[in-house]
Amino acid sequence: MLNLERLRTLDALARHGSVSGAAEGLHVTTSAVSQQMAKLEREVGQQLLAKNGRGVRLTDAGRLLADHAARILSQVELAQSDLEAQRGQVVGELRLAAFPTAMRGLFPSVLSALRADHPSLRVSSRELEPEYGVNAVIRGDADLAVVLDWYNKPLPVPEGLARAAILDDPVEIAMPEGHPLSGRDAVDLEDFAEDEWVAWPEGEFCHEWLIYTLRGRGIEPRIAHCAEEHHTQLALVAAGLGVCVAPRLGRDPMPAGVRAVPVRHRVHRYVYAVWRADADRRPSIRAAVEALQKAGESIASAASATSAASVTSDASS
């Protein structure tokens, strides 16, 4: 009889490609991974791992069993999901992930709502960039992740994941109040061809989007400063060190000395949740999606009311 936990260890090795990666993903020690694999090899009577330089690789038998392990674990997840759905109770543990501005702009109200509505549900959350959030869901390290697509550059999402729309997040350009364009009602990206930019760290999905988008407008971007958090970027803008992309989600309060101006040809990003399709019927997943969508609707309504008030004020003046 194959041991489920040892199959889970083999699956982690196949996905992470190393003993250390599997140990990190499973939250165990490397020696625990090695011990589980040694026991699994004795159970099946075949060598599953072979040395590969300083690391290891799966043998043909290892890859064959790893393929079966992935399907078995998916069926176990589906069985658990169906049992939870039949019971109809939002209980157990739910692990959430979100990119930084969603963590700031959505999760405080979402986590509070889940705690109030489902006191028997244990929720944990962590901040992950979109691509890492997707990978965490695929690996089973997170049950649901909030991620994003840019309007002109979608995030690659593998098969086997379900998704639900949360929010359409409009983007503006933040600049120092003394910038020549700060008095305009709308701007074009081409207007900033000579400006220095404050951007996300190199290699991140949003940094790649900015480079891709500006070059698509015939602009070779001058990235002067990189910072992870939007509020750090805005602080650099307030100091007169450049301009930056300023999504509305999780942005307020704006620092003094900064003006955010809408882009004439609308720039926006789609915020959505992803989870494993085989967990689709879990009541806890459905409860989290519902809470996220309610929070997204509330933010969109507040933004519409603010825009309408701004238009009325401009017309009066």
For the chain, 317 residues long, the average pLDDT of each consecutive 10-residue run is 86 86 82 90 90 86 90 79 69 91 94 94 93 86 94 88 94 95 94 95 91 92 93 95 93 92 91 91 92 94 60 45
Spatial CB neighbours of 205, under 8 Å, sequence gap ≥ 6: 129, 130, 131, 155
DSSP 8-state symbol, 278: G
Q: What is the pLDDT of residue 54?
A: 78
Q: What is the pLDDT of residue 313?
A: 45
Distance CA 235, CA 28 (A): 40
- In sequence order, the β-bridge partners of residue 147 are 272
Q: What is the pLDDT of residue 87?
A: 67
Distance CA 73, CA 229 (A): 36
Q: What is the pLDDT of residue 232?
A: 94
